[in-house]
Amino acid sequence: MARPENLWYSKTHEWVRMEGEVATVGITDYAQEQLGDVVMVELPAVGKGVTAGQEMGTVESVKAVSEVFSPVSGTVVEVNGELEAHPELVNQDPFGAGWLVRVKVSEPPSGLMDAAAYEAFVQEEGGH
Amino acid sequence: MTSAPTKRTPLYEVHLAAGARMVPFAGWEMPVQYKGVIEEVRAVRTRVGVFDVSHMGELEVVGTRALDFVQYVTCNDASRLTPGRAQYSGLMTPRGTFVDDLLVHMFSPERYFLVVNAANKDKDYAYLCAQAPAFDNVEVYDRSADYAQLAIQGPFAEQVVQKLADQNVSELKYYRFVEAQVAGVPAILARTGYTGEDGFEVYVAPEAAAEVWHAMMDAGSEFEITPCGLGARDTLRFEACMPLYGNDIDDSTTPLEAGLDWIVKFEKGPFLGREALLHQRAVGIKRKLVGFEMVGKGIPRHGYAIFQGDREVGVVTSGTFSPTLGKPLGLGYVPVELAAEGSELFVNIRGQKVAARVVPTPFYRRAK
């Protein structure tokens, strides 16, 4: 699957879309594929602070639990409530309807990769 | 981590071509999933699925005292078998714990065919060989390299196998087996499985495995037969509460603790572990394997601690989100006084104590 060009990517396979001061965060197509069928998503509540590189929640498949690390620092302003009833959106549309949280960032994101760099990173990890 | 090279089943290339994701398991490179665990589980529950389980071990016990030997090392009563019947049993330590769980197939009073877990095969073989000298004229053979095993499971399994077999399989009852031609290939065809559905386990020569696999896929296409990986297999067996060695049972747990009393036949005479198990039965078990559902939100996983209030009382041995039941479920050992249906427990899910409740097992039972 094409990796959207307008996003930033972390080494722990989250993506970020910046719109002003608000970052939308999700997990990448590669991450959801590695995980398999997602059956439960645990996310921080609105108003909670998150720190870049720190765990902010979990995504669970039938087989395994995977931690989600926040790629940015700031305050959660919105969580994707659809995932409560439809966690499979993370598999079906990881870069769209399967987004996880929106964070009002407290500082500009840093240390993230662009699409080309992430592509190379996944290749190196033994991905596709 | 083991440094030994991983083995490949004769179907390795077939799996790659079918889009499987391969993972190391018990020294083998095995398909964990093709399209996805949930879809594969649904296929087996509602239609039919086929699994490569060639990693499983096959051991043969041969000789005039083969029955006596099998009786001595296992806890179920092999004397109840007749040729063409199989039984689920436990290979026992003298402490009454599991060396392994296994299927014992009787070909004749002088020939038994044991199917054991891949991860335990070498251990089991060595254990059996160590016990054999006490029985004159008993030989134990590791036949694992001589067999590939395909499991075809689900409500339409019989119709698919019937197209391929040279005999009437509708007459083959559960836990019976025959030597048959399947897709023109000599096979041991057993009506057994590890999914909680009707189905067959088919043992063939490794070089014939791909041919039989493709024949099953072709014959099953009208039922949308689905290749299934170890992920679906583990989920299916979990829903049916069939124990997994290394998770739910091991060499520290007894059949009585695991709720497998029905495979312990004290009246059959001496066997390894009998004294220990008699003692445990007399004094009563301290802990018991129970099934539970989550009252709070979260998925129990193998190794998570079970609490009653602030007291750690047990451990989750298997747990997942059950696709068929549509909710998270778990199996775990708890003190026997907390094992009753409705008993309220907590599971420590990554630092959070989440409420759980003991429920009847199996979680899933197919409609007859």
> Taking CB atoms and an 8 Å cutoff, what residues of chain B touch A37?
36-39, 323
Quote the pTM value: 0.94
Interchain contact, B320 vs A62, CB within 8 Å: yes
| For residue B2, pLDDT beyond 70 | no
Torsion of CA B28, B233, B196, B363, to 10 degrees: 130
Euclidean distance between CA atoms A116 and B21, whole angstroms = 25
Interchain contact, B231 vs A63, CB within 8 Å: yes
Nearest CA to CA, how far is B318 from chain A (Å)? 11
Half-sphere exposure of B320 (CA within 13 A, CB side): 27
Nearest CA to CA, how far is B342 from chain A (Å)? 25
Closest Cβ–Cβ partner in B33, B234, B301 for A36: B33
Please list the rounded mean pLDDT of every run of 10 residues in chain A (128 residues): 79 96 96 94 96 96 94 98 96 97 95 94 76
Query: Tell me: the pLDDT tens digits for B238-284?
Result: 999 999 999 999 999 999 999 999 999 999 999 999 999 999 999 99
Amino acid at B235: T
Interchain contact, A58 vs B350, CB within 8 Å: yes
Q: What ipTM, to 2 d.p.?
A: 0.84
The predicted structure's pLDDT at residue A3: 67
| For residue B101, pLDDT beyond 90 | yes
Query: Tell me: the pLDDT tens digits for B119-178?
Result: 999 999 999 999 999 998 999 999 999 999 999 999 999 999 999 999 999 999 999 999
What is the DSSP secondary-structure string of A99-114?
--EEEEESS---S-B-
Strands B185-190 and B177-182: antiparallel
The predicted structure's pLDDT at residue B5: 78
Query: Tell me: the pLDDT tens digits for B301-355?
Result: 999 999 999 999 999 999 999 999 999 999 999 999 999 999 999 999 999 999 9
Amino acid at B95: R
Euclidean distance between CA atoms B76 and B175, whole angstroms = 14
The predicted structure's pLDDT at residue B1: 46
* Mean pLDDT, chain B, integer: 97
Is some CB atom of chain A closer than 8 A to the CB atom of B323?
Answer: yes
